């Protein structure tokens, strides 16, 4: 499986407007809620509960908010780009620009961890991150991810 196998074009946001953590989560969740039919507030609540355990702002301008849902049938992935950067309480204290949003079924720990590892791996590539930050639109973001994407 590849990232683009689960990242739907409709869940890519090429210009997040929010200026704080909760706002970014609400914005990222909006297309996911629409596509999945899952209540928007429930999705945000799952993410905020996870954030209370420790920030998913992993540093280097990257955030990977994620959560598990018991009634979810398959994983859902979203992407957001904040051109201005957001205080996401990142471990390095720097603004966060690149967000991958992940929801997985509660019983799919292996898949959850594999996808998190794949996303983390490609985001270690500084050239890749720079290309994402400079992407003009959703199509370019998808193309850039596709260039780095391999089976996980």
- 40 belongs to the catalytic site: no
Catalytic residue among 8, 40, 52, 66: 66
Query: Which DSSP state fits 20?
Result: B
For residue 94, give the 3-state DSSP assignment. coil
For the chain, list the strands marked E by DSSP. 7-13, 57-59, 62-63, 66-69, 76-86, 96-105
Question: Exposed (0-12), middle (13-18) or buried (19+): which is 127, by Cβ within 10 Å?
Answer: exposed
The answer to whether 2 touches 152, Cβ cutoff 8 Å, is yes
Residue with tokens 């074009």: 9
Which of the residues are catalytic?
Answer: 66
């Amino acid at each position: 499986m590849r990232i683009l196998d689960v990242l739907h074009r409709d869940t890519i946001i090429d210009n997040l407007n929010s200026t704080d953590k909760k706002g970014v989560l609400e914005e990222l969740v909006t297309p996911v809620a629409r596509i999945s039919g899952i209540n928007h507030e429930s999705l945000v609540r799952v993410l905020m509960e996870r954030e209370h355990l420790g920030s998913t702002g992993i540093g280097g301008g990257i955030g990977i908010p994620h959560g598990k849902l018991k009634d979810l049938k398959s994983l859902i992935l979203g992407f957001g780009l904040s051109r201005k950067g957001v205080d996401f309480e990142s471990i390095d204290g720097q603004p966060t620009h690149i967000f991958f949003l992940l929801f997985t079924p509660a019983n799919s720990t292996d898949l959850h961890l594999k996808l998190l590892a794949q996303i983390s791996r490609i985001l270690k590539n500084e050239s890749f991150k720079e290309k994402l930050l400079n992407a003009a639109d959703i199509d370019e973001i998808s193309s850039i991810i596709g260039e780095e994407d391999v089976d996980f």
